[in-house]
């Protein structure tokens, strides 16, 4: 492997971190360690693996591969790959957009899904901004969810939510799986953490 090809995948700083984190997780899983130690080790491995993934994607882009090709390898759409790993230029300034994703946005979205499934409509609406609160009442939210269940069956599970920056907002996409179909919950958070957008989308609408 040439030095150029090596740098296009995982850099020298990331590789030992990845090996160390993987070894630590295997040690925790195979030993009589406290369960939370294994969770912490898995968290560390996921963080380093994400860094390695970003380095690999950056290398693929530098080598001329398209977002469609990268998405195919990742099992996602080109848009999802771009949203997760791309650094678009801000059309207002020409500078790369910052990765100032709202902390905890993915976890908050998972909590919203739990609220929908549990029928806790006011809880789901708690952080709506004024426009959202005025446009989507508890009764309307309940009606929308009932229509979804009536059309594609009962809720089964949520896939891994992904967050990306879109101008001044953080956007989270959470795949939702039902008995007879799939939807994506897309939640947009403003810079204050208020919910400025809340959509249930078909996969072909992403």
Tens digits of per-residue pLDDT, 21-43? 677 767 766 766 677 777 777 77
Closest to 73 in 3D by CA, of 62, 86, 60, 87:
60
Under a CB-based contact definition with an 8 Å cutoff, are residues 96 and 87 in contact? yes
Share above pLDDT 90 across residues of the chain, in percent, rounded to a whole number: 44
Measured CA to CA, the distance from residue 71 to residue 161 in angstroms comes to 16
The mean pLDDT value for 59-68 works out to 91
Determine the pLDDT at residue 84.
Answer: 76
Of residues 14 and 202, which shows the higher confidence score?
202
pLDDT in tens, 69-127: 999 998 888 877 887 777 666 667 666 655 567 888 999 999 999 999 999 999 999 99
CA 174-77-54 angle, to 5 degrees, is: 85
Which residues of the chain form beta strands (DSSP E)?
Answer: 155-158, 162-166, 169-178, 181-189, 195-201
Measured CA to CA, the distance from residue 21 to residue 34 in angstroms comes to 17
The mean pLDDT value for 32-61 works out to 79
Three-state DSSP at 111 gives helix
Prediction pTM value: 0.57
């Amino acid at each position: 492997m040439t030095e150029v090809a090596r740098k296009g995948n995982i850099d020298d700083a990331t590789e030992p971190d990845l090996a160390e984190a993987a070894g630590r997780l295997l040690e925790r899983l195979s030993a009589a360690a406290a369960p939370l130690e294994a969770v912490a080790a898995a968290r560390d491995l996921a963080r380093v693996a994400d860094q390695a993934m970003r380095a690999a994607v950056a290398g693929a882009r530098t080598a001329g591969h398209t977002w469609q090709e990268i998405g195919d390898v990742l099992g996602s759409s080109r848009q999802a790959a771009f949203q997760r790993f791309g650094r678009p230029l801000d059309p207002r300034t020409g500078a790369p957009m910052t990765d100032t994703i709202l902390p905890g946005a993915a976890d908050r979205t998972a909590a919203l899904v739990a609220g929908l499934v549990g029928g806790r409509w006011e809880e789901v609406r708690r952080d709506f901004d004024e426009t959202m609160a005025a446009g989507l009442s508890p009764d309307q939210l309940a009606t929308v969810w009932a229509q979804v269940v009536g059309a594609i069956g009962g809720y089964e599970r949520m896939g891994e939510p992904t967050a990306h920056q879109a101008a001044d907002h953080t956007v989270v996409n959470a795949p939702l799986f039902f008995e007879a179909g799939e939807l994506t919950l897309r939640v947009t958070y403003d810079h204050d953490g208020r919910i400025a957008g809340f959509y249930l989308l078909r996969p072909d609408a992403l």
